[in-house]
Amino acid sequence: MRINKYIAQSGFCSRRQADEYVLEGRVKVNDKIITMLGFEIRTKDKVYIDGKLVKADKLEYYRFYKPSGYITTKSDEKGRKTIYDIIPKELHHLNPVGRLDKDSTGLVILTNDGNLQYELTHPSKKVAKTYIVKIEGKPGDIKLQKLNEGIEIEKGKIAYCDWAIIDEDKQTMTFEIVLYQGMNRQIRKMFEFLGYEVVNLKRIRHANIELLGLKRGEIKPIKPRQIKELKLYLNKLNKEE
């Protein structure tokens, strides 16, 4: 097994973070420092990061309903409130899968399974994430078509999405938006480019995991059956690459 996958499966960190540790010379296999990406681990090998033995933990999977006003990180240099201010302390070892900005609400998956975290967030996987988005104003079809075609929200970064109008009144429109990318504040920036402000954004689904059944601020374990279905879904995506 490749060293980054071994470390990720232990729950220590994600594959990408494991690669960084390898390149920084912080990973040792038995008594030898490893700096080669793709190094293969054997069954009897012992792996250390910064002198700490990496061993398999019980893998845990939770879904959390993030309220507005919290950022999706373990700590913040600016002193802003994070989701770990409201998540029970016994679950603080879990890592968020992707992020929601401070003003957004909805589903956040939390896990110590670094391999699953990698599969759900790596750009090449194109895992679907579904949102309910309300905007101020009523763009026409020509403008909305740009959401499908792609919008350069930053230099060299083209953002796109699938969308459907699910409600509207005289002043607002509400959409179901499906993303296959993970750019920072992507939906807000796309509508800002079109000239409209997002007034409400909630993630309701990540792959096959849904927000349904959670109250705001609540966290619950994901059922083993759902994790099995999630891994089957990810395996299918891998075969389509």
Pick the catalytic residue: 101, 103, 162, 167?
A: 101
Q: Is 197 exposed, middle or buried (0-12, 13-18, 19+ CB in 10 A)?
A: exposed
Torsion of CA 17, 21, 24, 28, to 10 degrees: -170
CA angle 107, 215, 170 (to 5 degrees): 75
Q: How far apart are CA 221 and CA 112, in angstroms?
A: 13
Using alpha carbons, select from 219, 238, 230 the residue that is nearest to residue 92.
219
Note whether 234 and 226 are within 8 A (CB): no
Nearest 5 degrees, angle CA 8-CA 11-CA 13?
60
Active site residue 101: yes
**Beta strands 105-111 and 197-206: pairing type?**
parallel
Q: CA angle, corner 46, sides to 42 and 49, nearest 5?
A: 120
- The rounded distance, in Å, linking the Cα atoms of 186 and 179 is 9
Q: Which residues are catalytic?
A: 101
